């Protein structure tokens, strides 16, 4: 078989298979070109999900006739100065999008350069053109893509329904609109306006919040925490939702690197790690994060679609994201999302409700026998002894009912003043207990219902985490040290983090070539799979340079212990105990949700209650 060069049009069609996968890909490339051209208004029109027509109009600086002729040539670009791939400051740079789109469609490009009295157009059908011709256009550029993939029927067959293809395009436009709040966008589908946002004014963070509110809704702005952090010439800004404001998938996580929308495993993994203590595995936070990184520290030339990036210092990037998110969540204190209250109000109806038993702690005479120590299966005696003081503190809200002089003398317990003086506190004054499970509290302008077990579970968990962060993780010496055989490069990675892992309770040494010997393990892990743990740690260090598995396993055990060591549902509490629980919730970060992401309390404003009874 004779070797020959492929034709230019065939080369473009092959490139189109990587760059232009569907109508949304074409829209993304063309809109990014408009943004690079300095456009402040971008209008997108689609017909039949983009199969029949994609039309994009912008008011950017436009192009001259010579520039327009060059723009549709493969690997022709004005954005890559001095051929330096380490200093990319624009959305596009490869010079592949326009020729790739033109090779698989009926393509028309009109443009008028700033300060010019003339406009020009070029028409390309399946890669063939008659050159640049004069045309009429007020300002900027106008691109029409008709009959996308008509010259490559195989690709056309793989497109989904018009509705699905349009939804993909809508997601692309929303992400680009989030990254560019000073640009106005509109999107029409079959002559119906599907999306429109005007340019935002003011400071960058304020503009972004208004733009995010316009796209994600008022609920997001009501439940969003501002993010603003820096580390080693990297800056992270944006907004992250409260843990109780979450979704069933990760589609509502919007991540940007130097203004470029990306879907990166490192970034999504960092978000998951930051929310790990606050959400169940099947729940995901809602957020929009904007990472600014020096161009020499990030590689955007990983894939033609430019949706993936690679960082030079991935560990620093992950640490910045996790640290910034956790700091914001800690600053939120006991705050829970407004959607919790809205959901509670929506569950009420006007029909008469059956009378529910109500117990007031003020009148309680119930006596509970002393509690016996709890034993968590799988934990060593060392770990049980270590957490004995914590378990004593957790009993602050679960003692024998009635007067307990020993408990009152415990300095770790703070009994509150009479309930009448406590309504000015954020979580108010305890008025009673419902079904021996929920605390009813009165605030200055409403009522609060607290799940006593979920709330105390979070309080106990935070105490355990504090001890662990202070390096007090107990170790269990192995009677017979475990030898683990792994690859030598994995041994080298583990040995470089030996000191850090030792602080977490894992003590090991190199054991010849391709093996390590484990001498001590964290006592909290109990009877664990040491070989699997070591291999998981080595794999994670290779991928993210972070020892995550050990921390996750420790925190999972802490969560289990906190659940078993907390005030249980069905236990009666005195008013003083209920108020003590409320006060500690106010002082403890993240107390608005339990370890599984469920809310620990619901707040109803007085106006909402009055509305339920028709008083408003």
Count the neighbouring beta carbons within 10 Å of the beta carbon of residue 203.
8
Q: Give the pLDDT score at 474.
A: 80
Q: Give the pLDDT score at 610.
A: 84
Q: Give the pLDDT score at 417.
A: 44
Phi then psi dihedrals of residue 587, to 5 deg: -95, -10
Q: For the chain, list residues with pLDDT below 70.
A: 1, 4, 6, 8-19, 75-90, 92-95, 301-307, 334, 336-421, 464, 467, 471, 524-526, 543-569, 596
Q: Give the pLDDT score at 457.
A: 80
Q: Give the pLDDT score at 201.
A: 83
Q: Give the pLDDT score at 299.
A: 83
Give strand pairing partners of 120. Answer: 111, 134
Cα distance between residue 179 and residue 513, in whole Å: 50
Instruction: Give residue-wise pLDDT tens across range 22-48.
Output: 899 999 999 999 999 999 999 999 999
Phi then psi dihedrals of residue 486, to 5 deg: -140, 175
Domain over 353-606 is classified CATH 3.30.1540.20: yes
* Structural domain boundaries in the chain: 8-80+87-197, 204-332, 353-606
Cα distance between residue 514 and residue 492, in whole Å: 9
Cα distance between residue 179 and residue 254, in whole Å: 9
Q: Give the list of residues 6+ apart from residue 540 with CB closer than 8 angstroms, or none.
A: 546, 547, 548, 549
Q: Are 581 and 455 spatial neighbours (Cβ–Cβ below 8 Å)? A: yes
Q: How many CA atoms lie within 13 A of 346 on its CB side?
A: 6
Q: Give the list of residues 6+ apart from residue 491 with CB closer than 8 angstroms, or none.
A: 510, 514, 515, 516, 538
Q: Are 600 and 591 spatial neighbours (Cβ–Cβ below 8 Å)? A: yes
Q: Give the pLDDT score at 343.
A: 63
Q: Give the list of residues 6+ apart from residue 297 with CB closer than 8 angstroms, or none.
A: 233, 234, 311, 312, 313
The DSSP-derived string for 71-139 is HTSTT--SSSGGG-TT---SS--SS-HHHHHHHTSEEEEEEE-TT-S-EEEEEEETTEEEEEEEE--SS
Q: Where are the beta strands (DSSP E) in 221-320?
A: 224-231, 234-241, 246-247, 253-257, 260-262, 284-285, 287-292, 298-299, 310-311
DSSP SS3 for 499: helix
Give strand pairing partners of 247. Answer: 284
Q: Give the pLDDT score at 346.
A: 64
Q: Give the pLDDT score at 404.
A: 38
Q: Are 176 and 35 spatial neighbours (Cβ–Cβ below 8 Å)? A: yes
CATH tag for 204-332 (out of 3.30.460.10, 3.30.230.10, 3.30.565.10, 3.40.50.970) = 3.30.230.10
Q: Give the pLDDT score at 604.
A: 87
Cα distance between residue 408 and residue 400, in whole Å: 12
Radius of gyration of the chain (CA): 30
Q: How far apart are the first and last CA of the chain?
A: 85
Tell me the CATH class for 8-80+87-197: alpha beta
Q: Give the pLDDT score at 607.
A: 85
Q: Are 63 and 72 spatial neighbours (Cβ–Cβ below 8 Å)? A: no
């Amino acid at each position: 078989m004779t070797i020959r060069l492929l034709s230019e049009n065939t080369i473009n069609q092959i490139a189109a298979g990587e760059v232009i996968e569907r109508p949304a890909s074409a829209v993304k490339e063309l809109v990014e070109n408009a943004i690079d051209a300095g456009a402040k208004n971008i209008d997108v029109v689609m017909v039949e999900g983009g199969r029949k027509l994609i039309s994009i109009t912008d008011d950017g600086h436009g192009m001259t006739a010579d520039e327009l002729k060059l723009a549709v040539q493969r690997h022709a670009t004005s954005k890559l100065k001095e051929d330096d791939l380490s200093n990319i400051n624009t959305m596009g740079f490869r010079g592949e999008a326009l020729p790739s789109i033109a090779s698989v469609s009926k393509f028309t490009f009109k443009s008028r350069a700033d300060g010019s009295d003339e406009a020009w157009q070029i028409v390309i059908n399946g890669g063939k053109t008659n050159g640049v011709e004069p045309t009429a256009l007020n300002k900027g550029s106008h691109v029409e893509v008709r009959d996308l993939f008509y010259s490559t029927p195989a690709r056309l067959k793989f497109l989904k329904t018009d509705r699905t293809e349009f939804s993909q395009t809508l997601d692309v436009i929303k992400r680009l609109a989030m990254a560019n709040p000073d640009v106005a966008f509109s999107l029409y589908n079959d002559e119906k306006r599907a999306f429109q946002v005007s340019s935002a004014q003011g400071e960058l963070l304020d503009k972004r919040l208004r733009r995010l509110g316009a796209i994600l809704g008022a609920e997001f702005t009501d439940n969003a925490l501002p993010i603003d952090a820096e580390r080693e010439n990297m800056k992270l800004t944006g907004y992250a939702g409260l843990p109780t404001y979450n979704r069933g998938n990760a589609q509502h996580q919007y991540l940007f690197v130097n203004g470029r929308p990306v879907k990166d495993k490192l970034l999504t993994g960092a978000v998951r790690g930051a929310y790990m203590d606050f959400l169940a595995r099947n729940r995901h936070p809602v957020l929009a994060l904007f990472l600014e990184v020096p161009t020499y520290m990030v590689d955007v030339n990983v894939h033609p679609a430019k949706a993936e990036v690679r960082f030079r210092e991935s560990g620093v990037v992950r640490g910045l994201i996790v640290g910034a998110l956790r700091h914001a969540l800690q600053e939120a204190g006991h705050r829970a999302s407004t959607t919790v209250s809205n959901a509670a109000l929506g569950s009420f109806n006007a029909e008469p409700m059956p009378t529910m038993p109500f117990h007031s702690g003020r009148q309680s005479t119930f006596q509970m026998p002393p509690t016996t120590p709890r034993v968590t299966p799988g934990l060593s005696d060392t770990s049980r002894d270590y957490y004995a003081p914590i378990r004593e503190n957790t009993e602050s809200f679960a003692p024998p009912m009635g007067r307990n002089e020993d408990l009152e003398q415990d300095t770790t317990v703070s009994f509150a003043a009479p309930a009448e003086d406590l309504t000015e506190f954020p979580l108010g004054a305890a008025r009673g207990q419902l079904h021996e499970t929920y605390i009813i509290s009165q605030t200055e302008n409403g009522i609060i219902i607290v799940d006593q077990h979920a709330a105390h579970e979070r309080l106990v968990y935070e105490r355990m985490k504090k001890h662990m962060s202070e390096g007090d993780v107990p170790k269990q010496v192995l009677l017979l040290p475990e030898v683990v055989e792994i690859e030598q490069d994995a041994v080298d990675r583990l040995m470089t983090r030996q000191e850090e892992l030792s602080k977490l309770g894992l003590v090991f040494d190199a054991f010849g070539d391709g093996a390590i010997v484990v001498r001590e393990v964290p006592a909290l892990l109990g009877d664990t799979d040491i070989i699997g743990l070591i291999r998981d740690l080595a794999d994670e260090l290779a991928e993210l340079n972070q020892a995550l598995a050990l921390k996750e396993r420790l925190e999972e055990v802490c969560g289990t212990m906190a659940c078993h060591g907390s005030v249980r549902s069905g236990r009666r509490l005195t008013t003083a105990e209920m108020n003590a629980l409320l006060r500690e919730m106010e002082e403890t970060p993240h107390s608005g949700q339990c370890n599984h992401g469920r809310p620990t309390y619901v707040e109803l404003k007085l106006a909402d209650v009055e509305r339920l009874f028709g008083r408003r």
